[in-house]
Structure 1
Amino acid sequence: MLASGRDSNHLVYKTAPKDPNWIFAGPEFHALHHVYPDRYIGSFIKLFDWVLGTAYSFRGKRFVITGGSGAFGQAIVAELEREGVQRVQDLKFGIDWDHEHFEKATAELSACDVLILAHSTEDQDADCNSAVQLVRLFKQNRSFSESSSTLPEVWYVGSEIELLPSFGIKQLQRHSRSKRRFLPHARSFFDDPDILYRHIVLSSFWLPMGTLPLPGGWAARCAMCWIRRGARYIPAIHPGIAYLNYLKFMHWVPYAEDADKL
């Protein structure tokens, strides 16, 4: 009564901040329970939410995706629509944005909650640069929205090629250079307090080769399963290199030197 019902787990936030704990349910985690009463249920540890998949809510969120026509893009859009999201907008390259005019996507980015980057091009420099520029544009126009009770999110679709060799295959070499060039930016976004960044790791042969060792729907469902449990590094494939890549991503990848430049 003296504290008006507030304790260490009941702090007042306009926007729930990023949760720094992976096992304990602190005030950041509990704040999300007040936004989504049927989610974020654990009061001390997150075991209950891990088991039942209640450490995330898709309900009512607005999504924007690049690369929505790709194998994984189509599959993840179908999964999101089944979850009852408010909408999923596909940003089409050459129409809604291009490598010279990212600002064309400003209206869509400022009105969404989650940006999914699933596009891939032959030009590794343009591919990395486009991902960085779209994230920065999203942050600039959406991060500090006073009307939102949750942080904006970025989901980036990476690949096992971030760790695997390219075996002399030219197509894989281009794909590898693109994904590895983005890693320092990904690491910076992962720790950015103003966005919630998720790194989704697919099989190395998906995007450049166009032949899927596993069905697109299976990988999308795997990614959604991890996200429901609050994961931010997501191995959306069979157990393998993606799990080893987690160690590289978290401990050996440096931060981008120009992470704060717009």
Structure 2
Amino acid sequence: MIWDIIVFLLQAALAFVVSTALFDALHWILHRWERSTIPLLRTFSSWHWVHHKFLGLDMQINPAYARANIWFHILPEYLTSIAGTLAFLLVFPWPPVVAVLVIRTIMLVMTLREEGLDYNHMSMDRVGGQQGRLWVDNNYHAMHHVYPHNFFSSFANVFDLVAGTSCQIEGRRFVVTGASGAFGSAMVEKLRALGGIVETAKSGVDFSPGDHAAMCEKLERADVLVLSHGAKTDDCWNANNVTFRELTELFTDLGKTRLAPPEVWALGSEVEFHGDMGMDELKAYSASKRAFALRAREYYRSDALIYRHIVPSSFTSAMGKGAMSAETAVSIALFMIRRDFRYVPVTLTGLAVLNYFRFRFFQRGRPDDLQPAE
């Protein structure tokens, strides 16, 4: 009996997720048709854009489009999902399929009663940085209305995970630190190739510990701050910890009145996991990286920003030969980031994957306690 219930629930869940992903794929196609050379396809796309007039780029509801939104978005979404659900009658018994049909119909009726308003479609003054991933929440779906050519998933994040449409790059403004280094220069090149608008900032010129006034103008223009500067021997504490922390908090403060949360990508290291291993030459480097990781966990959990922690295996740079090239490390990182990974393990050894559990659950103490004695 219990097993039958489990099978029923699993079948119903699969039917719901797949039929949802079917509409999400159609949703993506409608956006692609916006630039089609075929007039009829552009017309279909324009019908869908009524939905984005109903809930605009400013995340405010326009009641004038409520009825059109029902005809051109809500009902097509419902009918597409129903068609995808009915297809499961070919492989599943009818009870779980009917259960999903009933759930979808109840959801439709509730949405119609509210004239198109539901949990994911309401006015918002600010989008939070903590966003649903496996299951889409209102903050996640709001990002689709702020960045209409990404974030297509409507209930389950299956489509965006497959298609890599969970992070807008084209047209967004990036500030990259450490752009003269291997990872930073590769990141700048890749972001520009993907349509990002990139500025760079240099340690000791644009910012230094306790002095980041020259960064304010650049950060005010930016949507994303990429922290890829650092040091392995000289003044590690300031290079890998203090300036990372100060720039993240400055950018977060400057972005607190924006509609969409500021976004920070910070370069960590597998040394966060294995420490200095008793090697004197790694003591200062390990302490600085671990200290920032401890603070970074707070950013990771904060609703004030979107924070991504990139932890690569060693890569080839001026610091020495690595397990992969910086270009490969950046390509892997962006592959994950475009699928909304917030902790980004770029690893051949697997240590960065293991470090996820340390980063999230097992760090102890205060960052300043880790500073080695001079």
Taking structure 1 as the reference length, the TM-score comes to: 0.89
Matches within 5 A, 1:151-190: 151-190=261-300
Deviation at 1:230, TM superposition (A): 0.6
| Alignment of 1:219 onto 2:329 | yes
Amino acid at match of 2:248: V
Q: Distance between the aligned counterparts of 1:196 and 1:163, measured in 2?
A: 23
* Runs (5+) with no aligned partner, structure 2: 1-111, 369-374
Q: Residue by residue, what CA displacement relative to the aligned partner does 1:133-160 show, whole Å, maximum 9, x if unpaired?
A: 1112112222323xxx421011110000
Deviation at 1:53, TM superposition (A): 0.7
| Alignment of 1:29 onto 2:140 | yes
**Correspondent of 2:170 among 51, 56, 59:** 59
**Correspondent of 1:50 among 140, 161, 173:** 161
2:126 match: 15
Assess, with a 3 A threshold, how the Cα gap between structure 1 residues 239 and 14 changes in structure 2: closer, same or farther: farther
Q: Is the 8 A contact 2:128 2:305 kept in 1?
A: no
Q: Is the 8 A contact 1:197 1:232 kept in 2?
A: yes
Structure of higher CA gyration radius: 2
Q: Is the 8 A contact 2:130 2:301 kept in 1?
A: no
**Correspondent of 1:41 among 146, 152, 160:** 152
Q: Is the 8 A contact 1:188 1:255 kept in 2?
A: no
Q: Distance between the aligned counterparts of 1:197 and 1:65, measured in 2?
A: 15
Amino acid at match of 2:302: D
Assess, with a 3 A threshold, how the Cα gap between structure 1 residues 206 and 256 changes in structure 2: closer, same or farther: farther
Q: Distance between the aligned counterparts of 1:246 and 1:51, measured in 2?
A: 22
Q: Residue by residue, what CA displacement relative to the aligned partner does 1:67-117 show, whole Å, maximum 9, x if unpaired?
A: 1111111111111011101x2111112221122422221111122111111
> Equivalent residue of 1:159, what SS?
coil
Deviation at 1:255, TM superposition (A): 8.0
2:238 match: 126
Q: Distance between the aligned counterparts of 1:254 and 1:106, measured in 2?
A: 32
Matches within 5 A, 1:223-242: 223-238=333-348, 240-242=350-352
Assess, with a 3 A threshold, how the Cα gap between structure 1 residues 205 and 171 changes in structure 2: closer, same or farther: farther
Q: Residue by residue, what CA displacement relative to the aligned partner does 1:210-252 show, whole Å, maximum 9, x if unpaired?
A: 3222011111000000011011000123251000000011111
2:204 match: 94
Deviation at 1:49, TM superposition (A): 0.9
The alignment covers a number of residue pairs equal to: 254
Q: Is the 8 A contact 2:316 2:325 kept in 1?
A: no
Percent identical residues: 35
Q: Distance between the aligned counterparts of 1:11 and 1:238, measured in 2?
A: 43
* Root mean square deviation of aligned Cα: 2.1
Q: Distance between the aligned counterparts of 2:265 and 2:211, measured in 1?
A: 22
Q: Distance between the aligned counterparts of 1:95 and 1:135, measured in 2?
A: 18
Q: Is the 8 A contact 2:316 2:326 kept in 1?
A: no
Assess, with a 3 A threshold, how the Cα gap between structure 1 residues 49 and 108 changes in structure 2: closer, same or farther: same
Amino acid at match of 1:80: L
Q: Is the 8 A contact 1:223 1:234 kept in 2?
A: yes
1:136 match: 249
Q: Is the 8 A contact 1:111 1:142 kept in 2?
A: no
> Equivalent residue of 1:184, what SS?
helix
Which one is further off, 101-110 or 198-207?
Answer: 198-207
Assess, with a 3 A threshold, how the Cα gap between structure 1 residues 181 and 257 changes in structure 2: closer, same or farther: closer
Taking structure 2 as the reference length, the TM-score comes to: 0.64
Deviation at 1:131, TM superposition (A): 1.0
Q: Distance between the aligned counterparts of 2:317 and 2:285, measured in 1?
A: 8
Deviation at 1:208, TM superposition (A): 8.2
Assess, with a 3 A threshold, how the Cα gap between structure 1 residues 173 and 184 changes in structure 2: closer, same or farther: same
Q: Residue by residue, what CA displacement relative to the aligned partner does 1:151-204 show, whole Å, maximum 9, x if unpaired?
A: 101111000000114344433222211101112210111111111100000124
Which has the larger share of helix? Answer: 2
